[in-house]
Amino acid sequence: MMSNITLGRYIPNNTFFHRLDPRCKLLLLFIFMITIFINLGMIGYIVLGLVVLLCFILSKISILTIFKSLKPMWFMMIFIFVINLFVVKTGTPWHLGKITIYSNAIFATLKIVYRLFLLISTSTIFTATTKPLDITIAIEDLFAFLKPIMNVHILSMMISIALRFIPTILEETNRIMKAQASRGVDFVHGKLKEKAKAITSLIIPLFVSAFARSDELANAMEARSYNPYAQRTRYRKLHWQFKDSLILILSIVLLAGFITLAITGFAKTWNTSIFEWIKGWFK
């Protein structure tokens, strides 16, 4: 059960990406997300794909991990494709028996799937190369400008505690499942309704214990004179290096380039006529 979770798991290593400042990596992720949702056109997407490929090589994450993390996408892909079949009615119509499929439906689907693929891969690279604790510190630092409006420290403390308790709660889940199974609850067989009923016998004790746990945790924190609104120092320090600035500037330049291309319409010519473009290859 625990081994199935690959998305968002830290993989200890000491690569170039592991050594980058988490703040830099978080900013890169933001920049990348923006870039993905710009209408880039064929060349843009290829360049972006190459960048992601380079990141993968640099972070030394095994191909298997990536494919595992892409598992939930297959369902999405089929779902999007089916929707597109009914919505998109442009491009060259292809007749398959009684059904008519338009070429743009396929291309639109491919485009969305490709974007999702890039998005998931980059997030995987980010979480696989950054310790959860470092992510929370990076969030706290980057959102420090929000301090007058809200207490950013509370947010990062909540995230880090949530991350800290994931394995503990999973362990607890396993224990409750075993305890309930030994009392005759069947989690595996039966109809959906019966399964749902069985799950309640897991969820209710789990919630009860989680609340008791959080109560005790709050006591322990308070007893160690924790006060989120008071002045406190921070043990973990992040070190911004020259390479972080360099990488960040490079990616900002890349983003600016893509935006310019999108605005000038250069990308559009490539984009609207992907089909023509491919057809051109065969002429």
Partner 1 sequence: MDAIKFENVTFGYHNQTPIIENLNLEIKKGKYTVLLGHNGSGKSTIAKLAIGLLECQDGNIFIDGIELNEKNLNQIRSKVAIVFQNPDNQFIGSTVRDDMAFGLENKCVDPNLMDAMIEEYAKKVNMHEFLDTEPTNLSGGQKQRVALAGVLAMQPDILILDEATSMLDPIGKKEIFDVIQELKVKRSEMTILSITHHIEEALFADEIIILNNGKVVKVGLPNDLLYDQNLLNQNALEAPFIIQLEEKLKQANIPFEPTLDVKELVKQL
- Binding residues for partner 1 (CB under 8 A): 131-133, 160-161, 163-164, 167-168, 171, 213, 216-217, 219-227, 230-237
Residues 6+ apart with CB under 8 A from 72: 7
Q: Shortest gap between Cβ of 237 and partner 1 (angstroms)?
A: 6
Question: Which C-beta is closer to partner 1: that of 84 or that of 156?
Answer: 156
Alpha carbon distances (Å) from 246 to 28, 135, 165, 197, 256? 12, 20, 36, 55, 15
Question: Which C-beta is closer to partner 1: that of 214 or that of 269?
Answer: 214
Q: Count of alpha carbons within 13 Å of 236, Cβ hemisphere only?
A: 14
> Tokens in use for 143?
């959102």
Question: Which C-beta is closer to partner 1: that of 219 or that of 272?
Answer: 219
Alpha-carbon span 124 to 121, nearest angstrom: 5
Question: Which C-beta is closer to partner 1: that of 63 or that of 223?
Answer: 223
- Position 52, amino acid: V
What DSSP designation does 247 have? Answer: H
Rg (CA), the chain: 24
Question: Which C-beta is closer to partner 1: that of 182 or that of 225?
Answer: 225
Question: Which C-beta is closer to partner 1: that of 235 or that of 281?
Answer: 235
Q: Shortest gap between Cβ of 173 and partner 1 (angstroms)?
A: 14
Q: Shortest gap between Cβ of 204 and partner 1 (angstroms)?
A: 20
What DSSP designation does 229 have? Answer: T
Nearest one of 249, 281, 248, 244 to 19, comparing CA atoms: 244
Q: Shortest gap between Cβ of 221 and partner 1 (angstroms)?
A: 6
Q: Shortest gap between Cβ of 210 and partner 1 (angstroms)?
A: 11
Q: Shortest gap between Cβ of 238 and partner 1 (angstroms)?
A: 12
Question: Which C-beta is closer to partner 1: that of 80 or that of 139?
Answer: 139
Judged by DSSP in three states, 224 sits in coil
Q: Which contacts (CB < 8 Å, 24+ apart) does range 45-49 have?
A: 45/111, 45/114, 48/118, 49/114, 49/118
Q: Shortest gap between Cβ of 152 and partner 1 (angstroms)?
A: 15
Residues 6+ apart with CB under 8 A from 236: 133, 134, 137
Alpha-carbon span 164 to 72, nearest angstrom: 25
